[in-house]
């Protein structure tokens, strides 16, 4: 294996040559304390950066013991190491050089969520950082001497600062980070046995600094969360002083069933719901939400005007679609399809799809819901004859969703008291302070009962399973090769299909979106066979990720090479993307 001096000499020889000459450096290069692998060189200065890996022997890094004792701790350790690498990049600050992406050095360390990623991996006696580097250029000519400084001096300094020259304080922060994540997962494992769908720790800082930021609001400007006594619980954790003082986490347990979050405008209802929405995965210490832990089967649903729907059973919420006079009979909705759903039909489809994918519960905010889907008051019932109203509003199903299907609901509701008598718990947010108003809400419902509501036209049922058709997963673009890619967090291009994910709020990171694009293609190649249901396909993908990891999601990946920046998504977000493919076809629809 050639050394750093040989790499520097090779790069100086390439100085001034055409940019593609950089391909001469692909391969492995041995440095003093690490090994550099150049897996793929970008085609030009403006293309996606080159993919490189830096590997350090485990005895050189000398990490504290116990960081890989289980899968949770290994994922958390990799997350801390990726963040340390990113911090070292910022400290060394390689000089951006020439045109295009020259001098850029990045690692996919992510935001406040701790996700399984491909950025840092542990091997047999080594640790590896997968990074992207922009090789310097002047126009389309290689700046070999600049590249030599970047690769043989800056990169070794970054890896030394990040992983090798650690202080005792660094190691304490690393262990504390991993212990905090482990505590969150320990709390998550206790939720079901305690009859809870979520936990919010006392002292949590839920507000964000702005609507466009995931950074916590400054401590002095945000009110720390304090659980109302009626919902206060204590949960034991394995690691002391990690996330919360001591070995017991105290806070609010959000019970299973139907839970209302009520209160005036701007008092914190949606802020709490958003924290629960993000609590499906661990958070880094200092985020303010590191003691917010939610059942990972809770799915946020909303109205989504204009989305496509393919063969979804929405009959529990929309019994039929009316016919125009003189036309065919009313359309059946047990396998409903449309290229342009309304607010109510889209929300019904979103709920049915979440149930189909295996959700344990729903998170719903009235602000992003269709009004006619959520409630219908007595006056409207008196005006519109039941035979002329196909929608069974959510208020008439929310109780049965739990009692018959086991699906809990946490609902932000500030504009209607119709849910009071149906709720197991009602929490009022008053200037961000939660308090128990369940008894008051029930008393109000009893003192002023609603007029009798018409019975739903159809009984509640679990949505019928759907079988996707293989031909609807074609990723080719005419005669061109297969193509799929993520455009930031919110969009996937799959062949000629654009998948809009803006209304999928529990997708946190563009790296998850990239993984979803790869997962859809993997499913199309191996799992979509015209007989397997969507739920069975999601089961198979989960098993594949558990066994093989995320590396194979890159179609150009080969063992031991850089797989790109990927983070593991939940089955629900994969299903959301598949369900929003306008090309999707299902058997019998």
pLDDT reported for residue 385: 63
Residues 482 and 395 in one domain: no
pLDDT at res. 380: 72
Instruction: Provide the terminal-to-terminal Cα distance of the chain, rounded to the nearest Å.
Output: 58
Domain extent at residue 518? 470-579
Give yes or no: residues 398 and 474 share one domain. no
Indicate whether 430 and 497 sit together in one domain.
Answer: no
Structurally, the chain folds into a number of domains equal to: 3
Tell me, what's the pLDDT at 41?
A: 96
- Residues with Cβ within 8 Å of 180's Cβ and at least 6 positions away in sequence, in order, are 76, 239, 242, 243, 282, 284, 285, 290
Same domain assignment for residues 408 and 515: no
pLDDT value, residue 559: 74
Please tell me whether residues 62 and 154 are part of one structural domain.
Answer: yes
Report the SS3 class of residue 421. Answer: helix
Looking at the fold, whether 329 and 429 belong to one and the same domain comes out as yes
d(CA 517, CA 323): 38
Same structural domain, 519 and 392: no
Q: Please state, in angstroms and rounded to a whole number, the distance separating the CA atoms of residues 225 and 235.
A: 17
Positions in the chain whose pLDDT score sits under 70: 323-330, 378, 382-383, 385-388, 451, 477-480
Q: Find the DSSP H helices in 454-570.
A: 510-526, 534-548
Residue 582 has φ and ψ, to the nearest 5°, of -70, -15
Domain end point (choices 447, 478, 507): 447
Listed residues 137, 166, 195: the one ending a domain: 166
Distance CA 497, CA 492 (A): 8
Query: Nearest to residue 61, comparing CAs of 79, 76, 75, 81?
Result: 81
422, 310: one domain: yes
Residues 71 and 119 in one domain: yes
Torsion of CA 146, 147, 149, 155, to 10 degrees: 140
Q: Quick check: is 215 in a domain?
A: no
Cα 105 to chain centroid, rounded: 25
pLDDT of residue 376: 81
Q: What are phi and psi of 258, to 5 degrees?
A: -115, 115
Angstrom distances, CA of residue 575 to CA of 297, 426, 504, 523: 13, 31, 11, 11
Domain end: 416, 447, 478, which one?
Answer: 447
pLDDT (0 to 100) of residue 95: 81
DSSP 464: P
In eight-state DSSP terms, residue 268 is: S
Rounded to 5°, the CA angle 235-240-244 comes to 65
DSSP state of 482: B
């Amino acid at each position: 294996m050639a050394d750093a001096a040989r790499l520097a000499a090779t790069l100086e020889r390439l100085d001034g040559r055409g940019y593609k000459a950089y391909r001469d450096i692909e391969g492995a290069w041995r440095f003093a304390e690490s090994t550099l692998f150049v897996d793929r060189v970008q085609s030009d200065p403006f293309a996606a950066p080159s993919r490189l890996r830096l590997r350090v022997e485990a005895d050189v890094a000398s990490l504290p013991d116990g960081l890989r004792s289980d899968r949770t701790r290994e994922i958390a350790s990799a997350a801390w190491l990726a963040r340390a690498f990113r911090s070292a990049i910022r400290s060394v600050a390689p000089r951006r050089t020439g045109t295009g992406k020259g001098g850029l050095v990045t690692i996919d360390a992510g935001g406040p969520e701790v996700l399984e990623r491909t950025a840092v991996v542990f091997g047999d006696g080594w640790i590896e950082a997968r990074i992207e580097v922009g090789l310097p250029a002047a126009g389309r000519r290689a700046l070999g001497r600049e590249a030599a400084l970047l690769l043989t001096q800056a990169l070794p300094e970054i890896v030394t600062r990040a992983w090798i020259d650690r202080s005792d304080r660094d190691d304490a922060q690393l262990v504390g980070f991993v212990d905090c994540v482990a505590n969150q997962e320990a709390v998550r494992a206790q939720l079901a046995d305690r009859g809870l769908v979520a936990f919010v720790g006392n002292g949590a800082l839920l507000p964000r600094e702005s609507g466009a930021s995931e950074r916590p609001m400054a401590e002095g400007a945000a009110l720390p969360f304090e659980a109302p006594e009626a919902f206060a619980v204590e949960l034991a954790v394995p690691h002391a002083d990690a996330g919360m003082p001591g070995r017991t986490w105290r806070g609010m347990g959000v019970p299973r069933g139907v839970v209302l979050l009520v209160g005036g405008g701007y008092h914190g209802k949606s802020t709490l719901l958003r924290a629960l929405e993000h609590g499906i995965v661990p958070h880094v210490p200092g985020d303010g939400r590191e003691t917010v832990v939610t059942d990972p089967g809770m799915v946020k649903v909303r109205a989504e005007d204009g989305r496509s729907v393919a063969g979804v059973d929405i009959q529990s919420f929309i019994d039929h679609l009316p016919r125009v006079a003189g036309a065919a009979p009313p359309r059946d909705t047990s396998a409903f399809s449309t290229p342009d759903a309304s607010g109510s039909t889209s929300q019904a489809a979103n709920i049915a799809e979440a149930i189909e994918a295996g959700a344990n519960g729903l998170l719903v905010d009235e602000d992003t819901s269709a009004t006619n889907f959520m409630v219908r008051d007595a006056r409207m019932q008196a005006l519109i004859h039941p035979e002329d109203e196909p929608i069974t509003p959510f208020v008439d199903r929310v109780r049965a969703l739990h009692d018959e299907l086991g699906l809990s609901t946490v609902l932000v509701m500030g504009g209607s008291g119709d849910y009071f008598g149906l709720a197991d718990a009602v929490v009022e947010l008053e200037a961000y302070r939660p308090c128990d108003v369940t008894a008051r809400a029930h008393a109000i419902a009893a003192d002023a009962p609603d007029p009798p509501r018409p019975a739903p036209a159809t009984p509640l049922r679990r949505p019928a399973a759907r079988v996707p058709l293989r031909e609807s997963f074609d990723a080719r673009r005419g005669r061109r090769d297969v193509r799929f890619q993520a455009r930031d967090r919110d969009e996937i291009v799959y062949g000629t299909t654009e998948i809009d994910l803006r209304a999928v709020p529990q997708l946190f990171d563009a790296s998850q979106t990239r993984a979803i694009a790869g997962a859809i293609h993997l499913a199309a190649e191996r799992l979509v066979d015209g007989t397997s249901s969507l739920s069975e396909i999601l089961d198979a993908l989960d098993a594949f990720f558990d066994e093989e990891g995320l590396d194979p999601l890159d179609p150009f990946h080969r063992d031991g090479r850089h797989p790109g920046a990927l983070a593991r998504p939940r089955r629900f977000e994969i299903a959301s993307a598949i369900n929003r493919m306008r090309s999707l076809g299902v058997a019998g629809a």
